[in-house]
Structure 1
Amino acid sequence: MLAAYLIAHQHQHPGDYKSHDLLRAMKPCATFGLMFSRARIKFIEFLTPLHKDFVLRYPEKMTDIRPPDLDEACRVIKEILKDIHLVFKMKGF
């Protein structure tokens, strides 16, 4: 969704959203009016190295991490998606 948000706003630096770096994709979103709470940023900060290293795709890589509670993780992700959807709607997308 972060990539979709940047693409929809014609962000001029594809490297920001064509990598698996969620923080790199999140940061320029603020330029286009999408900002997250500190708690959501902290969650994205937690996920970024896991996403970049494909840990979530290959469970055998999850030996040294403590994943958050699944229900909590799903709740936060749903909130992030709602935030993005809301800003899209506000901007007429």
Structure 2
Amino acid sequence: MERICRPIDWLGVNHYSPIYAKAEGASPLGFAWAEVPADAPRSPIGWQVDPEAFRDTLLDAHDRYGLPIYVTENGAGAAEKLDAAGGVNDVERID
């Protein structure tokens, strides 16, 4: 630990969708994963779409650590298909 215990310069964040947890006293960590709310909007492949959760994650990380944040991965699970011109008209992701 002495060798790797150093201050960090920035924080990398991967975010795709929120996760849900519930109290679970029998679990060693005191929680268990919970189901996504049934009325939550979802992408064509079933991932929850919640851009506000991404924003909240970034704001929480900024408030907590005060470091520059780099989004190293993010996305919305979709089923992209090429159009006749070879492009992708990705209206859901743009929205």
Q: TM-score range by the shorter chain?
A: under 0.3
Bigger radius of gyration: 2
**TM-score normalized by the length of structure 2:** 0.25
**TM-score normalized by the length of structure 1:** 0.25
- Higher helix fraction (1 or 2): 1
- Higher strand fraction (1 or 2): 2
